[in-house]
């Protein structure tokens, strides 16, 4: 028997979740056509019906947006780490090194020496070893020092202008607040701490803008790593031969005059080579790790938060279910005279059940449809807010998990709607009207 595709399995799960509600409706409605009576009730209580449908819609939409954004956040963070096969840093926290290298979060990291960098670059399987320097900013944008080869690996050729070719040149990310031709005065530190620590005499000219990557580097100003060393009065890793100011950039570097870097981004040509590099460079004086693996650990730790969000969404939906059912019981009481008239005309008690449940089902299905529409409309705004706060692009969309949530919610409410409907039918029976 052929194995079912993932989409087919998800569709079957959604069908299994909605099926109990559909079966419930088929059994309640069997043999009756109460829709004209239900339509009249909806016209008479239009305001109340809209209120209940809106309450259902808001509760469902919030749950859908929360779960979709959480999944979109995990996917976006994983995409941001994709260009980084292996990160090498001095021993310490892998999480801190990953956040600094991939997400450009300010961090105080110990430095790798020139000899250690040379060993990293010479490790079998390494096709690119790029130093990463952090700690400066320009108008709030992080300034990162690295090599032109890594910039090309990260984002490809510039979408505008050209790559940097000298120490006074910079390229900027797609979302950085600069354009080719702008002059930038970098400062030491990030945020308010950088305002009074400008690197005077080290102005940069923007020569290119990179294509969007969807990661935090889209907001960065990227310069030769030698530029950062110059701004801090450090050796630049090159022999002190040229006195005309036209100093070289990029590898090879002189081990003795290499001032150190907080991290090295390593690219490999094969997955097996990446594992070999990590194994070779994981020892007491140096650490190598997969950013994706560290992210997976963070996602696992944040699983409790995800579970809490899910519980909150379910709790809100449960409260809405109780509130709607209580409200429906009151609405049914308002139509007591109409139900009595139906009974006097010979309508059986099960017809009353069909009318009561059908009225509730219309509100539930309408509210669910409106909730999905609200979630679709609000998804872009929620993603935009997250993207601005986190610094990388989050693109969330409704998927099968949200379809399963909607199906389960609708089924729960359709089955629960039997409670006020049966209560209405029993009330008529007690009144002696049959």
For the stretch 349-407, pLDDT in tens is: 677 778 888 888 898 899 999 999 999 998 888 888 888 877 778 888 888 988 998 99
245 and 277 belong to one structural domain:
yes
Q: Is residue 339 part of a domain?
A: yes
Q: What pLDDT does residue 434 have?
A: 41
Q: What is the pLDDT of residues 157-178, one digit of tens each?
A: 999 999 999 988 999 999 998 9
Output the six-digit token pair for 367: 């509210």
* CA dist., res. 356 & res. 352, Å (int): 6
| End-to-end Cα separation, the chain, in angstroms | 55
374 and 390 belong to one structural domain:
yes
> In terms of Cα–Cα distance, which of 156, 153, 184, 150 is closest to 170?
184
Q: What pLDDT does residue 370 have?
A: 94
Q: What pLDDT does residue 74 have?
A: 86
206 and 227 belong to one structural domain:
yes
Output the six-digit token pair for 389: 């706060």
Q: Is residue 294 part of a domain?
A: no
* CA dist., res. 372 & res. 58, Å (int): 9
* CA dist., res. 60 & res. 316, Å (int): 9
Q: Is residue 121 part of a domain?
A: yes
> In terms of Cα–Cα distance, which of 252, 195, 208, 261 is closest to 232?
261
- Which position has the token pair 């923007």? 206
Q: Is residue 3 part of a domain?
A: no
> In terms of Cα–Cα distance, which of 9, 16, 62 is closest to 317?
62
Q: What pLDDT does residue 113 have?
A: 92
99 and 153 belong to one structural domain:
yes
Q: Is residue 105 part of a domain?
A: yes
318 and 270 belong to one structural domain:
no
Cis peptide before 252 (omega within 30 of 0): yes
144, 146, 149, 152: CA torsion to nearest 10: -10
151 and 237 belong to one structural domain:
yes
Q: Let me know: does 159 contact 235? Beta carbons within 8 Å.
A: no
Boundary-marking domain end, from 265, 289, 313? 289
Q: Which domain holds residue 344?
A: 9-79+302-430
140 and 266 belong to one structural domain:
yes
Helices (H), 82-139: 94-102, 114-122
- Looking at every residue in the chain, the average pLDDT score rounds to 83
18 and 96 belong to one structural domain:
no
Mean pLDDT per block of 10 residues along the chain (434 residues) reads 76 90 85 81 83 86 86 86 92 92 89 92 92 88 93 91 91 91 82 54 87 90 92 84 68 89 92 91 92 86 67 73 73 63 61 82 91 91 83 84 90 84 64 47
Q: What pLDDT does residue 1 have?
A: 44
162 and 245 belong to one structural domain:
yes
265 in helix, strand or coil? strand
Q: What pLDDT does residue 131 have?
A: 95
Q: Let me know: does 36 contact 355? Beta carbons within 8 Å.
A: no
197 and 53 belong to one structural domain:
no
- Name 204's Cβ contacts closer than 8 Å, sequence gap at least 6: 138, 168, 169, 170, 183, 184, 185, 186, 221, 223, 227
Q: Is residue 183 part of a domain?
A: yes
Boundary-marking domain end, from 242, 260, 289? 289
DSSP string, 224-264: EHHHHHHHTT---SS-TT--SS----SS---GGG---BSEE
Q: Is residue 168 part of a domain?
A: yes
Boundary-marking domain end, from 244, 260, 289? 289
200 and 102 belong to one structural domain:
yes
Query: Which run of H or E residues covers position 187?
Result: strand 187-188
3-state helix, strand, coil in the chain (%, to 5): 55, 15, 30
160 and 236 belong to one structural domain:
yes
Q: Is residue 296 part of a domain?
A: no
- Which position has the token pair 């590099």? 277
- Do β-strands 160-161 and 204-209 pair in parallel, antiparallel, or remain unpaired? antiparallel
Q: Let me know: does 413 contact 56? Beta carbons within 8 Å.
A: yes
Q: How many domains does the chain have?
A: 2
- Which position has the token pair 């070289």? 248
């Amino acid at each position: 028997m052929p194995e079912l595709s993932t989409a087919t399995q998800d569709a079957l799960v959604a069908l299994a979740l909605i099926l109990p509600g559909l079966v419930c409706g088929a059994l309640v409605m069997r043999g009756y056509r109460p829709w004209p009576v239900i339509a009249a009730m909806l016209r008479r209580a239009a305001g109340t019906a809209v209120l209940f449908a809106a309450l259902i819609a808001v509760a469902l939409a919030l749950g859908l947006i929360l779960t979709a954004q959480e999944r979109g956040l995990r996917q976006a963070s994983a995409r941001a780490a994709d260009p980084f096969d292996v990160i090498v840093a001095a021993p310490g926290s892998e999480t801190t090194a990953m956040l600094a290298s991939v997400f450009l979060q300010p961090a105080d990291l110990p430095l790798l020496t020139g000899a250690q960098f040379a060993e990293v670059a010479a490790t079998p399987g390494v096709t690119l070893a790029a130093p990463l320097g952090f700690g400066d900013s320009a108008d709030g944008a992080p300034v990162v020092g690295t090599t032109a080869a890594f910039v090309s690996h990260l984002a490809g050729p510039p979408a505008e202008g050209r790559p940097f070719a000298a120490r006074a040149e910079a390229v900027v990310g797609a979302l950085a607040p600069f354009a080719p031709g702008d002059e930038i005065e970098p400062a030491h530190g990030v945020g308010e701490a950088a305002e009074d620590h400008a690197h005077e005499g080290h102005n940069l000219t923007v020569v290119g803008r990179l294509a969007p990557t969807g990661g935090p580097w889209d907001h960065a100003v990227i310069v030769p790593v030698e530029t950062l060393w110059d701004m801090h009065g450090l050796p630049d890793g090159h022999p002190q031969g040229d006195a005309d100011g036209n100093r070289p950039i990029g590898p090879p570097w002189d081990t003795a005059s290499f001032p150190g870097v907080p991290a090295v981004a390593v690219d490999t040509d094969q997955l097996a080579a990446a594992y070999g590099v990590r194994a070779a460079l994981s020892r007491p004086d140096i650490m190598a790790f997969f950013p994706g693996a560290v992210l997976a650990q963070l996602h696992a730790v944040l699983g409790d938060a995800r579970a809490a969000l899910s519980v909150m969404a379910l709790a809100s939906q449960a409260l809405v279910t109780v509130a709607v059912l209580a409200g429906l019981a009151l609405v049914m009481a308002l139509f007591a005279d109409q139900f009595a008239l139906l009974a006097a005309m010979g309508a059986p008690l099960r017809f009353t059940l069909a009318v009561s449940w059908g009225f509730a089902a219309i509100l539930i299905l309408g509210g669910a449809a409106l909730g999905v529409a609200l979630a679709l409309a609000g998804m872009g705004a929620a993603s935009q807010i997250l993207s601005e706060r986190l610094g990388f692009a989050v693109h969330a969309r409704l998927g099968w998990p949200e379809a399963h949530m909607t199906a389960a919610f609708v089924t729960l409410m359709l089955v629960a709607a039997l409670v006020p409907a049966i209560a209405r039918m029993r009330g008529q029976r007690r009144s002696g009207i049959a």
